[in-house]
Structure 1
């Protein structure tokens, strides 16, 4: 009877915390199209960013994250925009979030594509001075803009063999495919770093997606799964800053680590708004995006609301207009099967989340929204008074699989998507 009572409690917590998400992303597999792109025809508008059959790009697959790198003029105008991709062709042998932890030896890779040169293929970024025996399994990454030709700081979450670190590189816009290794950042507080959002060239927020990780002996396969399934609020956001040492300005900087927000179930992607006032965090297991008001003086965060998603959100990014692009997994069992080599593809979904132009009350809300997409977000997530949600991309996985990040270039309207286990690595969709 004791175990029956415990099971009832666990089931009750699961339904209370994750019932909507479980119903729509675990128990239900929707009939998505091969590919849907809101701003054009999928077949003619969307294509891989690298030649699929060229062996030079064999490592450009299983791409988890991506970021724009802006090179600015002295006046602050955009001169060149690059796209940097975080990929790991060894992900099915080494994944500290989903497993397995079988072989950490083959390194992941970073790739650069110069936007505006659409016929030019991506180029692999070469590391300079990177430690010989140091693993590299990249997840989240972000790079500071270059002003008037200055070098930029690139920070990459690295799920290495012993523990997860954050690698710092510097990149010169005159040699954009060379990343000069600066240092490895580590603290015991880096329990499960996932995604980063820069607050300056030398500081950033970082999410920790789990309190219990797969690295734990004996219980590493069980406890992280229970933490996810029950939607336990054990993830958090921290702020990291590198400050010059006043006693040795040319030496190693002082490392500062402070906790900014607690109680986030599976804290995954994180993004800072263009004006620096708002931070968004994806809660994967609850199927929501949390919004926080940021205090720039000390980088503290105060939660101000949330928006439910029609899928389990992965990575998020604000575009130039201030819209939040959210990407994720509409059928979680499929992505688990892909990771285990049981199936080849899993569905993809990306949406734009924008503040409403007029103030609404709950009574004014219509239950139906996102009416143009093949599978409407309104079938899986309730509308909210603060934001609108509109589908940008959908696929059953055949057109593009396991979407994890989408970036929208507001200048051109082009949408760039990466896939966590996508053989194509990344695609670009061009508006008609």
Structure 2
């Protein structure tokens, strides 16, 4: 009787694990797909895609091992976006200091921020015209505390209007604890970010991704309740939390007091738990309308889409849960290629979870593949599920997911086996698509090349 009860309990537990994390286990743990060196939708990978890092830069000072990227929108005095630059958070020392995946060996080498200015048809009018285009520029951290290390993850910047400076926020996995750094970046001196303040709160004790709702307010995802920083249990419980898809993560919303040079009040005016009980919440993004928030739930291979109340910042209810064929990392709302359609969500992630953990563990010869998809909303008569979608990609999402959704379908934008020595690009964490040029920018967590630009 005892053995039967034990067997029944094991079956029930395994069933619950499979129900919650079955997609991740099947697609990102048990099966390793055969990806090409590279694929980009609508183009030729070999001729249209190049890494941005300058090979003359020393590895420890280069644009490499990039986690997040965001567009810096520059508006003219009429409110029109006339320029877009890419800002990246990179940390060449990630293999020795990674508070999410490990190891926690050496926090001394510092990460950095980078600015990339795409080639434009017209000469820049707001951004410093002396800045070379089609080149990555290191952003100096002005007034940054000398005794404070810097290991950046999630980043977000508020748009600049008529040349005004922008608030820039960066998640920093510093040795003493996870914090958020507040900088100001000006279009007139875009390679110099002035440090304003360091933010501390239990509302972002395991912060990962950021999404701004105003120049002084943001959502922040907390990927784990149990972190690798914790003694003894940090070596194994965070991994268990991830693999079992335990809903212990959460997303907070934080509103700041405006910074004044003589202000001695608390920097945080209000902080609330916007959504609790999410398995491994990673990237977070707010739609341009402000009425939706998308959250990447890494350990269950889903993108969770919530209705948002802009007046209260409350995430009211889950509108959809979109299964993707990999462990999603970061995501961004993006204008659709169809002007009459709603926004798409560009999602980057890791097709094989054991591979990315081997890379994090510095195993010889280890590499990790890259996969970027667009979640495309269905319109009108297309609102019915289909068994045939994304048929052009070398490894179709259709080979991992039997059917698409009632309200969405999936379209592969980028794939690579991650073998840099053979021209591949590893560890995709974030992807941006330029609304006008349709160029794609892919950041790689452990990529020596840092970021890949594809211009199909």
Q: Quick one: distance in 2 between partners of 1:54 and 1:222?
A: 37
* Secondary structure at the counterpart of residue 176 of structure 1: strand
Q: Does 1:106 find its partner at 2:109?
A: yes
Moved more, 52-61 or 262-271: 52-61
Moved more, 13-22 or 300-309: 13-22
User: 1:366 maps to what in 2?
Assistant: 386
Superposed, 1:265-280 pairs within 5 Å as 265-280=279-294
Q: Quick one: distance in 2 between partners of 1:155 and 1:54?
A: 26
Superposed, 1:386-425 pairs within 5 Å as 386-398=407-419, 399-425=424-450
User: 1:324 maps to what in 2?
Assistant: 345
Q: Quick one: distance in 1 between partners of 2:56 and 2:16?
A: 48
User: 1:348 maps to what in 2?
Assistant: 370
Structure 1 residue 6: Cα displacement? 6.0
* Secondary structure at the counterpart of residue 220 of structure 1: helix
Q: Quick one: distance in 2 between partners of 1:59 and 1:245?
A: 32
Q: Quick one: distance in 2 between partners of 1:272 and 1:57?
A: 33
Q: Does 1:376 find its partner at 2:396?
A: yes
Q: Quick one: distance in 2 between partners of 1:143 and 1:312?
A: 25
Superposed, 1:290-305 pairs within 5 Å as 290-302=304-316, 303-305=318-320
Q: Does 1:310 find its partner at 2:325?
A: yes
Q: Residues 58 and 182 from structure 1, CA distance in 2 versus in 1: closer, same or farther, beyond 3 angstroms?
A: closer
Moved more, 49-58 or 73-82: 49-58
Q: Quick one: distance in 2 between partners of 1:52 and 1:71?
A: 29
Superposed, 1:162-177 pairs within 5 Å as 162-177=176-191
Q: Does 1:224 find its partner at 2:246?
A: no
Q: Quick one: distance in 2 between partners of 1:223 and 1:6?
A: 21
Q: Quick one: distance in 1 between partners of 2:304 and 2:224?
A: 16
Q: Does 1:34 find its partner at 2:37?
A: yes
Moved more, 49-58 or 351-360: 49-58
Q: Quick one: distance in 2 between partners of 1:169 and 1:359?
A: 47
1:70-128 Cα shifts (integer Å, max 9, x gaps)? 11111111232111010001101110000011111111010001122585421100011
Q: Quick one: distance in 1 between partners of 2:155 and 2:368?
A: 24
Q: Quick one: distance in 1 between partners of 2:297 and 2:447?
A: 22
Structure 1 residue 249: Cα displacement? 6.8
Structure 1 residue 318: Cα displacement? 1.2
1:337-361 Cα shifts (integer Å, max 9, x gaps)? 1111113421100011121012556
Q: Does 1:146 find its partner at 2:171?
A: no
Q: Does 1:357 find its partner at 2:356?
A: no
Q: Gaps (5+ residues) in structure 2? A: 121-131, 337-342
Q: Residues 245 and 151 from structure 1, CA distance in 2 versus in 1: closer, same or farther, beyond 3 angstroms?
A: closer
Q: Gaps (5+ residues) in structure 1? A: none
* Secondary structure at the counterpart of residue 17 of structure 1: helix
Q: Is this contact kept in 2: 1:244–1:254, CA < 8 A?
A: no
1:81 to 84, 103, 109: 84
Structure 1 residue 8: Cα displacement? 4.4
Q: TM-score, normalised by structure 2?
A: 0.90
Q: Is this contact kept in 2: 1:231–1:266, CA < 8 A?
A: yes
2:199 to 185, 190, 198: 185
Structure 1 residue 365: Cα displacement? 1.9
Q: Is this contact kept in 1: 2:117–2:133, CA < 8 A?
A: no
User: 2:223 maps to what in 1?
Assistant: 209
Q: Quick one: distance in 1 between partners of 2:258 and 2:38?
A: 49
Structure 1 residue 182: Cα displacement? 0.4
Moved more, 264-273 or 54-63: 54-63
Q: Quick one: distance in 1 between partners of 2:82 and 2:23?
A: 45
Structure 1 residue 9: Cα displacement? 4.7
**Matched pairs, number:** 428
User: 1:339 maps to what in 2?
Assistant: 360
Structure 1 residue 305: Cα displacement? 1.1
Q: Residues 21 and 132 from structure 1, CA distance in 2 versus in 1: closer, same or farther, beyond 3 angstroms?
A: same
Q: Residues 286 and 56 from structure 1, CA distance in 2 versus in 1: closer, same or farther, beyond 3 angstroms?
A: closer
Q: Quick one: distance in 2 between partners of 1:360 and 1:38?
A: 22
Q: Quick one: distance in 2 between partners of 1:84 and 1:3?
A: 53
Q: Quick one: distance in 1 between partners of 2:164 and 2:293?
A: 27
Structure 1 residue 255: Cα displacement? 3.0
* Secondary structure at the counterpart of residue 177 of structure 1: strand
Superposed CA RMSD in Å reads 2.0
Q: Is this contact kept in 1: 2:328–2:347, CA < 8 A?
A: yes
